[in-house]
């Protein structure tokens, strides 16, 4: 990845915060998934081996997964549910029917 590709990646992913040291070391953080002090460090020489896809995979790390459930005939994302409704989901009994 060259700097132009990195700039395009950062423009297309506004939730990615970044900083750069004087020696060229980059520090990236995904504002949705990472805590304030969690950062990914990329040394200047390592940037050449990265692709946009690999960088996105490292930043998201499989955390961008939406849980979907089917209740009474319709599908609903549980990310919009309140605490009580999520508690009801956790209390449900699941069984495998062969």
For 13, the domain range is 3-60
Say if 38 falls within a structural domain.
Answer: yes
Gap between the Cα atoms of 48 and 28, Å rounded: 16
The CA–CA distances, whole Å, from 29 to 32, 54, 72, 78 equal 9, 15, 39, 26
26 burial level (CB within 10 Å; 0-12, 13-18, 19+): buried
Say if 21 falls within a structural domain.
Answer: yes
Say if 85 falls within a structural domain.
Answer: no
Residue bearing the bigger pLDDT, 55 or 64: 55
Q: pTM, whole model, 2 decimals?
A: 0.54
Say if 49 falls within a structural domain.
Answer: yes
Total number of domains constituting the chain: 1
pLDDT in tens, 8-56: 988 988 888 888 888 888 888 888 877 777 888 888 888 888 888 888 8
Say if 74 falls within a structural domain.
Answer: no
């Amino acid at each position: 990845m060259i700097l132009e590709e990195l700039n395009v990646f950062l423009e297309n992913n506004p939730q990615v915060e970044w900083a750069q040291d004087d020696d060229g070391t980059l520090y990236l953080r995904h504002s949705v998934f990472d805590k304030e002090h969690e950062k990914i460090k990329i040394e200047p020489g390592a940037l050449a081996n990265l692709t946009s896809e690999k960088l996105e995979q490292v930043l998201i790390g499989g955390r961008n997964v939406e849980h979907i459930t089917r209740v009474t005939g319709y599908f609903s994302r549980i990310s919009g549910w309140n605490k009580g409704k999520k508690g009801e989901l956790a209390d449900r009994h699941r069984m495998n029917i062969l």
